[in-house]
Structure 1
């Protein structure tokens, strides 16, 4: 497993070792001991989630506040997405900055998104199965959302806005400036 810290502290790109032959492939998608050794983070995941989406579906930018904040380890099982993490930790030197990583069934990359980040993705392939581990349980009262096209974040989603399929809830999200952080 290769672990690379992004420009945002504690936000890592994880590339598992893939063993392949004519029968297919095998990879270890997560190992708590290896993860801790390579990141110096002690994370206990308590919930796994999976979504299926078609091309253009944009989910995000979502986050949980306070004691319900969540760290996530995300990956794509089928298809390809552009995955985005935004640092919303007010005391962070990278507050308001983001990273964007292409995650796909081909590259098998994963992104570790720490607590204190907003997260979202857009599907670039015809369909995608997106899987993620969370270190805390979802709490509706603690959720927040930042509008995907916030001018100050200036995220390049790599897809024309006319192709995006966005939930009503996500189209009325707060600007970064007005978000409850």
Structure 2
């Protein structure tokens, strides 16, 4: 197994909107919604944008690469089932490949990827996980997984059962 489980990868590949938290130079949190893609080559989250180099998130990452990234949704209201993945780690600024700027966006044609690339900055944010927390994903949606990635790449995992949320019938 790599850093992410098959269920987490499938979830990330179906979602397009997440929340990126960075740390400002004064130590305050800064959270923004961002479009993203899971990059299987680097087991990373890649974020692009039109004005990325002028954004506060970009500037925060240049100063302090510590980030948290969350993707979540509600899969069902009855029974209630929320799904989420939180990735804590470090982000770096990298340059995209101009010939194939988003090679891991498999659902897009090369022409579409190149069109997008012409409309976004050449720099992108790449998030590398040091901690992954997920819930509501996989064969047991009532389970939470917590994994820590050491500097040598080794992974330790803990799983916790979740209690189902019961709602009283409407009166």
Sort the TM-score into its range (normalised by shorter chain): under 0.3
Greater Rg by CA? 2
User: TM-score, normalising length from structure 2?
Assistant: 0.25
Bigger helix share: 2
